Amino acid sequence: MRTMAETRIWYSFLLAVVSLCVFKLYRSKNMLIIGLLMASVFLIVDIVHPEYHGKFLMPALQSPWFIPHVVSYMLAYALLASASLAVAWSVYTKGSIDTEFKQSMNLTYLGFVLLTFGMLLGAFWAKIAWGNYWAWDPKEIWALITWFFYLLVIHVHLYFPSRKKLLARLMILSLIVLFITWLGINYLPSANQSIHVYGY
């Protein structure tokens, strides 16, 4: 996962796996269709915009922490994207709202745990590699913003469970923030100094 293309391939794979697991567990055709469509979009982007895959990682990134950190984030992103899109689909198409909502929130909780785990792994790894847990890197800041957005989703779900449209809007907004964190941050001028655009 040295380049953005490699993370998109892994994301597509994990999204497809999550979609198939959710379908097997809940028999939710909507979540399966949404997940597989989204995985296909990312694969098509890789086909249309291929990138060189043989880039080397800087020495600090050649660490046993690299794979668990990135995979936990990619899996969290796949779960949270599936959950966000499924909630929006169920609310705005007047489908089986309660069933889809419960399934989506289960995915959100699991995705949030993995997001937290990925952030903690990154902090411990940063301490070992650079001597600090937190460097105020643009990617770190946006990862924290994403974490707070999904924390807000969880709190709204716990304390205002009947506000499903509000929750659906908040989940879509959280998904947009997540994609800014993962993909959009690379286009900011401050990203040139970031250690998180190593393979872009």
* Residuewise pLDDT in 10s, the chain (200 residues): 556 777 778 778 888 888 888 778 777 777 788 788 888 887 888 777 766 555 566 666 677 777 788 888 888 988 898 888 877 777 777 655 566 777 888 889 999 999 999 999 988 888 887 788 887 888 888 899 999 999 999 999 999 988 888 888 899 999 999 988 887 777 776 666 666 665 44
Q: Where are the domains of the chain?
A: 4-50+60-197
- Report the pLDDT value the prediction gives residue 200, as an integer from 0 to 100: 44
**Cβ of 52: how many Cβ atoms within 10 Å?**
9
pLDDT, residue 147, reads: 95
Count of helices and strands (H, E) across the chain: 6, 0
Q: How far apart are the first and last CA of the chain?
A: 11
The confidence score (pLDDT) of residue 140 equals 87
User: What does the chain come to in residues?
Assistant: 200
Distance CA 23, CA 16 (A): 10
Q: Please tell me the predicted confidence (pLDDT) of residue 65.
A: 74
How far is 183 from 73, CA to CA, in rounded Å? 13
Q: What's residue 191's pLDDT?
A: 60
User: Which ranges of 27-134 would DSSP assign to H, the alpha helix?
Assistant: 29-48, 66-92, 97-130
Q: What is the pLDDT of residue 197?
A: 61
Distance CA 125, CA 27 (A): 39
